[in-house]
Amino acid sequence: MSKLSFLRPVFSVGEGLTPRFIALAVLLGLAVIVPLAYRSMHNTSAGCVRCHGDKKLMETQDVPHFYITKEAVEKQSKHPDIECRDCHLGNGRSNDKDTAHKGMLKAILISEDGTILNRKEIFNGPILPSGDNKIYELLPKSTQDGQLTVPDEVRNLLWHDRNLETFNFDPDIAKKTCGKSNCHPQELHQFKKTIMGINYRQRYMRTWTQPYGPHNCGPSFADLPATGELTGAGFSYENTSDIVKNLNTSFTHKQAEDKQKFCNVCHAGCLDCHYTPTQKGGVHSFTKTPKSETCSGSGRGTSICHPGAMQSRRGETYIGGDYSVPPDMTPDVHYDKGIHCVDCHPTGEKGMGDMERKATCQDCHLEIEAAHARSAHKTLDCPSCHISELRGYQITIWGPGTVAGIPNPFKKYSLYYGIQSPPIIVKDQKGVWRPYKIWPHSVGNIKEDVPPSPALMFHWPKGETHDAYYIHGTFDNLSANNKHLLWLQLDQAAHPFGKARKCSSCHLDKQVSQSTWEFFDNYGAYPFNGQHSIIADSESLRVESIQNTTPIELMDGAKLEDFASWLFLKDKWKVPGDFSIRADKDKYNKLLTLSKRLEHGLARLDNISASFTKAQLKRYKTLRGAVLHEEERVVEIEDFLKDNSKPLAKGDNGIR
């Protein structure tokens, strides 16, 4: 008998078909069809549409703003055939409200205590821009004294792709929504491996001093460790344990979690860049290419996306107006020209989320860049001359206080908001002069002595960033919170571009920047004003004359050492070294003379430029930009003036 006889049919049906073959075919078919049918059944949003497409029902439920049709969602989101469950999850088949909404994703309102607020209790309306203040326009508002005001208990508005426990962007949620197989899986895969997605730089900071020195944002208190790919959104207490080892006070896991949650709200996910509800576009509006306002948090306050890192910490602005702290800063000239952040900081080689940090002016200003590279200022970057002031935090003190409604040793007293002008120019790790926001820091209750830095240190010595710091050491002669670790932080500034500074603002015996500020935190003391100077000369870089200019009235239970240790440590923020801008006097005087000739010639040309032909005007603008950055070519401006101006009347110098 053949070894393969078991394969022979017992009896034939039709053309060689057997019952065994038919049964196998049916089973295979069911194996394919049943999962697809089950998936199709559960992926439906019929129940969502049935309820939310009923206008009268939504009005009866006192949520008329939740009335929406499938057609409206497709139009607003620009996603044809999109299902409610694709973004919100939940149960799209159920007619029961609680069953349908179980596990549903929705916008998250965060309180000052770090808890999730009941949206309907705070604000029963659509999340759309409202009010006059642009940086808060998406936050819910109530009417107080006839004005729309953000309720006191509202701190942040986060989108649907956040972890409800940690407030981190959650890749597991994104995998079920934006990154699902028939949507944007490749983009999510890319994003999870980028600096933005991994949040690498902040997560790399393990303690107050390791591995690259102290930072205004503090260490990563209880976040996941920095890795090559984002894999989760939970807490980790490895850093917490290391921080506790060098403390004179307790620091629990709960306190670390509270600190970490408020750090996590700043860091971006998919929806932070691409979900953009507007009055015109509707509550389901998406944008493929983010605008500058999106990079600045889309009107969700000052503690999210770049308002935290750019406006408060670096003291910069790009949009200006309400998108600056304090407000009303002049916008960057490029923003006024309709140029958005991503035009200069495009997506890099790693794909979605890999934004190019370093922008080059050469893409647009070819002649100017070429002239600058030949000039006496070739080792000076463009913002050094074109930024005249920086705002945001002017002092930051970490001390005992209240975080998320409970005591915490690391309350960040950073709301010393003010203006420092002009920025101090300092050489970076590669010898390029750059403008820096410079301000004093302190953290209390450090156990062991920390020695001063050997010199000005850079967080990333290879040049990934140009931010720097100097540790002054620890001090224990105060009446509370000893020891105090002091450092001076220098954050590179790149915006806002405006008219160039005067030569004399740099070329004196020393650079002097004046800082004026107001303290208005919710804890510590009632609002008061103050000021200090930042000096850079041949001996040191230092903070001088730090003082309050109005009385300090303490809140109940507060100590000056908690939020104002600078009162006792006024002269300690000093970096030894030569920070002067040295220039050959003869060469400087020669260039200054050329600059005055250039100013005179440009004034005459500006006065007659309205009469130029298009060709003349184009040539003049190109030449003007180049010669302003290479004064040695002033004769070209003077020749252009001779060739393109009418004879002047006697006694007329051509300046209007």
Question: Nearest to residue 417, comparing CAs of 447, 396, 387?
Answer: 396
Would you state the pLDDT for residue 320?
A: 96
C-beta of residue 473 within 8 angstroms of C-beta of residue 454: no
Question: Nearest to residue 636, comparing CAs of 379, 364, 361, 371?
Answer: 371
Q: How far is CA 112 from CA 296, 383, 402, 510, 626, in A?
A: 21, 36, 10, 43, 51
Would you state the pLDDT for residue 144?
A: 85
Please list the ranges in the chain whose pLDDT falls under 70: 1-17, 30-42, 646-656
Would you state the pLDDT for residue 58?
A: 96
Residue boundaries of the structural domains of the chain = 11-42, 44-101, 383-576, 585-644
C-beta of residue 579 within 8 angstroms of C-beta of residue 512: no
Six token digits for residue 464:
């990934």
Longest dimension (CA), the chain: 126
Q: For 476, what's the count of Cα atoms within 13 Å in the CB-facing half-sphere?
A: 10
Would you state the pLDDT for residue 517?
A: 98
Pairing of strands 416-421, 147-149: unpaired
Rounded to 5 degrees, what are φ and ψ at 307?
-60, -35
Question: What digits encode the pLDDT tens for the residues 176-211?
Answer: 999 998 899 999 999 999 989 998 888 999 999 999
- Reduce the DSSP state of residue 265 to 3 states and report it: coil
Q: What's the mean pLDDT when you consider all of the chain?
A: 91
3-state secondary structure 82-133: CCHHHHHECCCCCCCHHHHHCCECCCEEEECCCCECCHHHHCCCCCCCCCCC
Would you state the pLDDT for residue 321?
A: 96
**Neighbour-count burial of 148, counting CB atoms closer than 10 A to its CB (0-12 exposed, 13-18 middle, 19+ buried):** middle
Residue type, 569: L
Question: What digits encode the pLDDT tens for the residues 406-439?
Answer: 999 999 999 999 999 999 999 999 999 999 999 9
Crossing angle for the helix pair 614-628 and 366-374, nearest 10 degrees? 30
Would you state the pLDDT for residue 15?
A: 54
Would you state the pLDDT for residue 13?
A: 47
Rounded to 5 degrees, what are φ and ψ at 624?
-60, -50
**What does the alpha-carbon distance between residue 252 and residue 260 come to, in Å, rounded to a whole number?**
12
